[in-house]
Amino acid sequence: MADKPTGDAPANNSARALDRGQVGDGQGKADLAQSLYSKPEDFRRTIGLAQNSADSMKAFDGTAGAPQLVTQLPADFRSIPEERRKEIAGMAGELLRPYTNKADANNRDADGKISFGEIGTIMDRIAKRPDLSELEKCRLWSDVRIGMGKMGLPIEDSDQVPKMIDSWHGKKDPWHALITLDDGYHGNRLINMTPEKATQAIIDHENGADNGHYPLWKQVGWQAAKIIRGVNQGDIESSEGQLKALRALRETGMFSDYAKEWKKQFVRSKSD
């Protein structure tokens, strides 16, 4: 999917290593240095300190002051250097590898398919990475989404919230639930409408309003299918759920909030 411009994102989003000269004399800054150098495995503490230190923001995001937040959609990935994008694409491959048939046979997830709960786990892993800026996390998730499609990785819907399942095609068409964050439909057109206008646009779309670019025979066939099957209510619900997750991202700029709301909307709890 082509990258889309959205605004004035910083020119360099690469995470870079903390230099001791940036730490200073403050106790919070010293604690950050101690955490990074003495306990590099202590991600939770490191992230907690990073969220409260201006110097740490400079270290993680390449700019002084507040961290780079993704508060405009679609996400603008052009500011990520090409070499860094390649690194992130490699990270996406590693995140997906355990769910392929080529994975270690001793891995219980190596069944050649992935569930919504497992996708949520991948999102959580991305959200917790201290080596990525928020924009890079969005890029990594987007590369994971693209990778699932290119691999033809079957997506199981046994743990998907039932009302979100495509009413026409079932688990064969989960793509309203799974989008890149530079997506042109949910992540650009709909998210930049008011909620009321977005809801109406979704309903119009599912009634065929956007089918004008198809050949006439295909439009007629689609309308006939709609008469037989009815409106695709699952797609409507899924689009609304996707917009709630995107609004959570835009409100705080943090990928973790997108992941949290996405799981709330799409992953069925074990008690259901």
Written as one string, the DSSP assignment of 241-255 is HHHHHHHHHHHH--H
**pLDDT (0 to 100) of residue 100:** 82
pLDDT reported for residue 108: 58
- pLDDT reported for residue 252: 96
Do residues 222 and 214 lie in contact, with contact meaning Cβ atoms separated by under 8 Å? yes
Collapsing DSSP to helix, strand or coil, 160 comes out as strand
Compute the radius of gyration of the chain from its Cα atoms.
Answer: 21
Q: Which long-range contacts (CB under 8 A, 24 or more apart) does 192-197 make?
A: 192/73, 195/243
Residue-level pLDDT at 213: 85
Q: Hey, what are 176's tokens?
A: 């309203």
All structural domains of the chain with their residue ranges: 68-272
Query: Consecutive sets of 10 residues in the chain, 272 residues long: mean pLDDT of each?
Result: 40 33 37 40 43 38 59 94 97 93 61 92 97 96 97 93 96 95 97 98 93 88 91 97 98 98 95 62
What is the Cα–Cα distance from 213 to 54, expressed in whole angstroms?
50
b/e for 15-24, b at 16 or more Cβ within 10 A?
Answer: beebeeebbe
Q: Whole-prediction pTM value?
A: 0.73
Helix, strand or coil for residue 114? strand
